[in-house]
């Protein structure tokens, strides 16, 4: 090995995924690496430029990845990889890569990627995970890019009824079958196992050119052996395989080999269809939509997307973030439209807030609305007109959200309610009153509003509001004790005989209220404990517990248990809601399998543990 290759090897061996490769694999890569020098502000590649047949590793210096508006999305330093996503996507670059300072960059070809890296399961898994964990995006771009990257990790939807023929079939007969079935490929099988494949391309290149007669056997033009993958193949793995072998179809078999039973066929078109029905594509559809009915149709597509996520065992917290992003973008589109329908522009700055489950990014199903509006303080002579304007605007927004499918809040906790459409100073006074007079009603209002998320408008107003809220809490520290008492109002929902506590009467008699009896106790606990640490910026229940693991390592096991329990509960509610076409709040326990009933009961232990922790910390033993 030459001296340059030795230096490259010594550098790469300390960074993943290269650290995961065998010595001889990395040596082979190092000998084939190309070295590039880039001066400050020199581009490596530009937006819309056709992809190169390689990806890059930063040796020295720093490379910035920029949007078309010149906003930096990521900074790649020593050992960082960039340009790989575009290579797998097989599309033009969507970001500019520009040297922030003088830089040396290693270039690694796609052939080396396929020959040495993706065949190594540990290295391949690292690359797949890094698509999510190492993506640093601007808030405005996160929903599209992260959801797009997440699509890479989904199990692929493939055709489970592949059209097949035998080795003795004539080319003409196979072509007629493909035409009749309107498909682009046919698999040649023997004893249920794939031995070859013919595609439209084969017919064009080998038949239309006259190289072979249509009366000959399919064996003359079929590609063999076929490339096979298992049923749980991800989008990224499928794309890598097609890139590696320069093919457009994969055969799916029971164990991923060509010696096991054929179960399906995956085409490049299947991947395109999946991407068209991904969260990122729905976000694009929302932004292009022209009316409310289109938004309603898009939200219906999101429901189907959610169902697919559950069927493919996608982590529920990730699915929740993607669906919540879709809900947020729909709301933003509705607000833009509502403003245009008013006689004048807003008289002053305002912000729209999602509260409750949407504010926590946990609104997977089409539940009712919880929202609020805050606007900048105005002079006394403008108060009435300003209030009237924003109430009319909020009413339009709430009605349009209802048209899309989000029911109006039965308790009227919406921006169209004068009590939930206030100036900054009015909100401050109202919060101060809730916190200093924490009766049951005020506590309930506080808990709903602590889980707010900025959806539209001025973030500065929200920051003012947040600062005021936490100042009130600091000035009345006994408030957290009252909040603690409130968090213990719903003990673990099992009777003395270890049976589920179900509704005793009414429309949902004998059904289990998963929201009130098991989810909200964990939501309340996470909120209380994170507020006790004066943390303002985290409002998602799982993220709150994760932060608590970091802040209180002595209680790590309890909080980790709460995280898993809440994920399970969120999954149960979502699955039930999709099955019954409702909010999923009430569950017929008898319809659950024994395993799921046990799993549900296990989540109640997390409620018990965290409530005992709260009881001790806030000295609330008299309530237990």
Backbone angles phi, psi at 500, to 5 degrees: -65, 135
Question: DSSP per residue over 88-142, as a string?
Answer: HHTS--SSEEEESSSEEEEEEEHHHIIIIITTSHHHHHHHHHHHHHT----HHHH
Question: Token pair for residue 299?
Answer: 């939200």
Give the per-residue pLDDT at 19: 84
Give the CA distances from residue 110 to residues 21, 94, 128, 196, in Å, rounded to whole numbers and listed in that order: 16, 19, 16, 26
CA-based angle 191:195:199, to the nearest 5? 125
What mean pLDDT comes out for the span 490-500? 70
Structure tokens at 7: 């230096």
Q: So what's the pLDDT on residue 493? A: 77
Q: Could you tell me which of 169, 147, 275 has the C-alpha nearest to residue 214?
A: 169
- Ranking 240-244, 318-322, 397-401, 540-544 by mean pLDDT, the lowest is 240-244
For tokens 């004893």, what's the residue?
A: 191
**In this structure, what token pair is assigned to residue 212?**
């072979």
Q: How far is CA 338 from the centre of its chain?
A: 28
Q: Is the pLDDT of residue 591 over 80?
A: yes
Residue in this structure with the two tokens 């017929």, named with its chain if needed: 588
Task: Report pLDDT for 139.
Answer: 34
* Rounded CA separation 361/541 (Å): 9
Higher pLDDT, 379 or 92: 379
**Could you tell me whether strands 54-60 and 43-45 are parallel, antiparallel, or unpaired per DSSP bridges?**
unpaired
Average model confidence (pLDDT) across the chain: 86
Q: How is the chain split among helix, strand and coil, in percent rounded to 5?
A: 50, 15, 30
CA 532 → CA 43, 216, 483, 519, distances in Å?
48, 78, 10, 20
Q: Once rounded to an integer, what is the mean pLDDT over residues 109-130? A: 74
Q: In the 8-state DSSP scheme, what is residue 196?
A: E
Crossing angle (nearest 10°) for helices 478-487 and 594-617: 160
What is the three-class DSSP state of 379?
Answer: coil
The better pLDDT of the pair 546, 84 is held by: 546
Q: What pLDDT does 138 receive? A: 31
Instruction: List Cα–Cα distances, 525 to 250, 472, 515, in angstroms.
Output: 48, 20, 14
**Does residue 130 have a pLDDT over 60?**
no
The three-state secondary structure class of 232 is: coil
pLDDT on residue 154: 57
3-class secondary structure for 28-61?
HHHHHCEEEEECCCCEEECCCCCCCCEEEEEEEC
pLDDT at 382 over 50: yes
Do residues 65 and 82 lie in contact, with contact meaning Cβ atoms separated by under 8 Å? yes
Asked if residue 355 lies in contact with residue 452, where contact means CB atoms within 8 angstroms, the answer is yes
pLDDT at 384: 95
Model pLDDT, residue 371: 95
pLDDT band at 117 (very low <50, low <70, confident <90, very high): confident
Q: What is the separation, in whole angstroms, between the first and last Cα of the chain? A: 72
The residues with which 58 forms a beta bridge, in sequence order, are 105
For residue 134, pLDDT over 50 is answered with: no
Contacts (Cβ under 8 Å, ≥6 apart) of 111: 53
361: left (phi over 0), alpha (psi -120 to 50) or beta: left
pLDDT of residue 144: 40
pLDDT above 70: residue 357: yes
Q: CA neighbours within 13 Å on the CB side: how many for 462?
A: 20
pLDDT-based confidence at residue 622 (cuts at 50, 70, 90): low
**Contact of 265 with 249, CB cutoff 8 Å:** yes
**What mean pLDDT is predicted for residues 191-219?**
92
Task: Name the one residue in this structure whose structure tokens are 């606007």.
Answer: 375
Band (pLDDT 50/70/90 cuts) for residue 441 is confident
Residue 276 to residue 236: CA distance in whole angstroms = 16
Residues 6+ apart with CB under 8 A from 119: none
So what's the pLDDT on residue 304?
Answer: 87
In the chain, what is the greatest distance between 2 CA atoms, to the nearest angstrom? 90
Report pLDDT for 72. Answer: 76
Categorize the per-residue pLDDT at 623 as very low, low, confident or very high, splitting at 50, 70 and 90: very low
pLDDT at 151: 47
299/559 Cα distance (integer angstroms): 33
Range in 107-121, 293-307, 344-358 the model is least confident about: 107-121
Q: Which helix (H) or strand (E) holds 323?
A: helix 316-341
- What is residue 236's predicted lDDT score, i.e. its pLDDT? 66
pLDDT at 106 over 90: yes
Interior/surface letters 403-439, b for 16+ CB within 10 angstroms, e for the rest: ebbbeebeeebbbbbeebbbbbebbbebbbebbeebe
Percent of the chain with pLDDT over 90: 45
CA distance 569 to 514: 7
Nearest CA to 456 among 344, 330, 541, 369?
330
User: Binning pLDDT at 50, 70 and 90, where does residue 487 land?
Assistant: confident
Going by DSSP bridges, is the β-strand pair 164-165/185-190 parallel, antiparallel, or unpaired? parallel
Which whole number is the average pLDDT over 103-110? 92
To the nearest 10°, report the CA torsion of 494, 499, 501, 503. 170
Among residues 82, 90, 27, the alpha carbon closest in space to that of 53 is found at: 90
What confidence category does residue 143 fall into, taking pLDDT thresholds of 50, 70 and 90? very low
Rounded CA Rg of the chain: 29
Q: Are the C-beta atoms of residues 199 and 150 closer than 8 Å to each other?
A: no
């Amino acid at each position: 090995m030459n001296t340059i290759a030795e230096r490259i090897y010594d550098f790469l061996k300390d960074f993943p995924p290269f650290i995961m490769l065998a010595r001889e694999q990395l040596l082979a890569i190092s000998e084939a690496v190309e070295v590039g020098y880039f001066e400050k502000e020199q581009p490596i590649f530009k937006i819309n430029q056709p992809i190169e047949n390689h990806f890059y590793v930063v040796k020295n210096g720093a490379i910035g990845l920029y949007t078309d508006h010149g906003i930096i999305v990521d900074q790649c330093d020593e050992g960082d990889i960039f340009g790989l996503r575009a290579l797998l996507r097989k599309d033009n670059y969507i970001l500019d890569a520009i040297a922030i300072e003088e830089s040396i960059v290693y270039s690694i070809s796609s052939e080396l990627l396929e020959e040495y890296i993706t065949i190594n399961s540990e290295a391949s898994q690292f690359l797949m995970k890094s698509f999510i964990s190492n993506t640093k995006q601007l808030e405005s771009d996160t929903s599209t890019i992260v959801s797009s990257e997440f699509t890479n990790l989904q199990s692929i939807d493939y055709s489970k009824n592949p059209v097949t023929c035998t080795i003795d079939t004539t080319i003409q007969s196979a072509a007629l079958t493909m035409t009749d079935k309107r498909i682009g490929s046919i698999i040649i099988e023997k004893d249920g196992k794939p031995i070859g494949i013919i595609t439209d391309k084969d017919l064009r290149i080998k038949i239309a050119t006259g190289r072979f007669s249509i009366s000959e056997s399919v064996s003359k033009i079929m590609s063999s052996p076929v490339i096979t993958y298992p049923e749980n193949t991800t989008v990224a793995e499928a794309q890598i395989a097609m890139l590696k072998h320069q093919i457009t179809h994969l055969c799916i078999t029971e164990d991923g080999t060509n010696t096991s039973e054929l179960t399906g066929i995956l085409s490049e078109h299947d991947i395109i269809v999946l991407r068209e029905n991904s969260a990122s594509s729905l976000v694009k559809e929302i932004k292009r939509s022209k009316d409310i009915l289109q938004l309603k149709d898009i939200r219906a597509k999101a429901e189907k997307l959610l169902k697919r996520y559950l069927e493919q065992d996608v982590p529920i917290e990730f699915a929740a973030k993607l669906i919540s992003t879709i809900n947020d973008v729909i709301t933003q589109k509705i607000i833009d439209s509502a403003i245009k329908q008013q006689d004048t522009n807003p008289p002053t700055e305002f912000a729209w807030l999602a509260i409750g489950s949407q504010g926590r990014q946990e609104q997977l199903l089409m539940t009712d609305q919880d929202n609020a509006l805050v606007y900048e303080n105005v002079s006394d002579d403008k108060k009435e007109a300003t209030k009237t304007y924003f109430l009319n605007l909020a009413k339009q927004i709430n009605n349009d959200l209802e048209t899309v499918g989000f029911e109006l809040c039965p308790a009227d906790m919406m921006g169209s309610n004068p009590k939930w459409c206030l100036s900054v100073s009015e909100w401050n006074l109202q919060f101060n009153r809730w916190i200093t007079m924490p009766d049951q009603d005020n506590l309930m209002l506080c808990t709903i509003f602590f889980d707010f998320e900025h959806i539209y408008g001025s973030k500065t107003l929200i920051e003012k509001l947040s600062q005021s809220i936490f100042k009130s809490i600091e000035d009345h520290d006994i408030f957290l004790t009252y909040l603690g008492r409130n968090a213990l109002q719903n003990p673990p929902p099992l009777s003395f005989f270890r049976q589920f506590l179900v509704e005793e009467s009414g429309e949902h008699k004998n059904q289990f209220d998963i929201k009130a009896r098991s989810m909200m106790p964990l939501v309340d606990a996470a909120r209380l404990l994170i507020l006790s640490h004066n943390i303002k910026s985290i409002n998602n229940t799982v993220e709150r517990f994760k932060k608590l693991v970091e802040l209180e390592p002595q209680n790590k096991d309890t909080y980790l248990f709460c995280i898993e329990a809440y994920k399970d509960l969120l999954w149960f509610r979502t699955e039930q809601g999709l099955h019954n076409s409702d909010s999923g709040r009430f569950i017929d326990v008898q319809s659950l399998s024994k395993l799921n009933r046990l799993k549900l009961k296990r989540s109640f232990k997390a409620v018990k543990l965290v409530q005992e922790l709260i009881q001790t910390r806030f000295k609330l033993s008299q309530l237990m």
